[in-house]
Chains A and B, each alone.
Chain A
């Protein structure tokens, strides 16, 4: 799941909770999902270092991704 998706879902959840037409059961479920999306987004943002990869095309035409240092 990408952080973009997490955040747009989170935005949607918050808007729903802020509106008055959600039953309490549904609101609790939304809240729970919101918390887990929030946690995922924060973990994502905490990544320490950009991951650099390089791509090579092998003889057969397959792609090979490998990490590039520095």
Chain B
């Protein structure tokens, strides 16, 4: 029994894998281990299918790898490159289980020559704008502390806008966000961004302008490195934040803008205040306002008391002065008193009824009357008329 001999090689306890188990395990190993990578190589045997997918090989001197690029990514790469074109591709190594084949799933492809040209153009613009002072620190304007109207120049289709609205809504819901739609990549992006930035200057009430997009590859950010967009951004009349959503690369708009944010969400956080913080500030001011008035009324009460004291004191002074005057007047009155005149030797005749006798007719012969002198009076009689 030859079978039994062969079977005896495999111990009954040992597991037997199916092909699918094997390919799955290898797939897990490869795909779990290797993240997307940039790879440089020559394109060979590219086939563009009517579905839009591209299949091609990528090779260098000694090795080759099969590549597959789905239609939605191939579409962004432009014309299919000719055999022998040197390119950079961004791809994730994977296993195509149906055929047990190792392949690279490519999401981006850029001819190395294009990178060279783009790099040279970037350097040219950067040097020019730097010389003109557009990156100067002295140009940077501070953001207003409590902006209530923010313009966002971005694509209404992109994630950047949603992120900005979410953050603003959470932090500062009393804010108005005005979206100025613009293409941010591909043909026409430069023109659209320039137009949108100019439009911002015409919207009434705008206090801050955010320009940006979500994360993208290096050449997707080309519009944000263009001279025209940089100049339009520099001409925006309110403080600007550039948020191009790429941590590692800095775009030229990042250098021109008043502030650079790593992502659109971060830009929104810089642009608007936090409602909770401002509420605390308002509460504090409310307390100080109440305290301030209390302080004023207390001071006023103290002043009033002081005034009353002074009033009292001044009335006393008046009274004293009046009393003194009264005394003086009394003295003068005394001096004028007729009794004082008697002291100088005059005498006053007074009739029996106490009437002062002033005329001859009042003195009948033989009539009795009294003469008042300085120290009393004496009895007298009229002898003859």
Contact = CB atoms under 8 A, between A and B. Distances in A.
Interface in A46-70: 46-55, 57, 63, 65, 68
B282 A50 contact: no
Contact of A24 (B173, B195, B279, B297): B297
B233 to A, nearest CB: 17
Contact of A50 (B168, B291, B297): B168
Interface residues of A, number: 38
Nearest to A5: B146
A22 B173 CA distance: 37
Given A31-B292, A63-B203, A3 B281 contact: no
A48 B178 contact: no
B296 A27 contact: yes
Contacts of A2: 146, 148
Contacts of A53: 176-179
Residue among A35, A50, A51 facing the most chain B CB atoms (10 A cut-off): A50
A interface: dominant SS: helix
A4 B285 contact: no
B199 A38 contact: no
Interface string B147-185: 110000000100000000100110011111111110000
Given A17-B292, A20-B299, A7 B178 contact: no
Contact of A17 (B165, B172, B293): B293
A61 B191 CA distance: 17
B179 A34 contact: no
Given A50-B173, A55-B203, A45 B296 contact: no
Contacts of A31: 289, 292-293, 296
Contact of B177 (A11, A41, A48, A51): A51
A1 to B, nearest CB: 10
B286 interface: yes
Nearest to B178: A53
Interface in A1-33: 2-4, 7, 10-11, 13-14, 16-18, 20, 22, 24, 27-28, 31
A57 B174 contact: no
Contacts of A51: 175-177
16 contacts: A2-B148, A3-B148, A3-B174, A17-B293, A18-B295, A27-B292, A44-B174, A45-B174, A50-B173, A50-B174, A53-B178, A54-B178, A55-B179, A55-B180, A65-B203, A68-B156
Given A13-B289, A31-B289, 10 more contacts: A4-B148, A18-B288, A18-B295, A31-B292, A50-B165, A50-B168, A50-B176, A54-B180, A63-B202, A65-B178
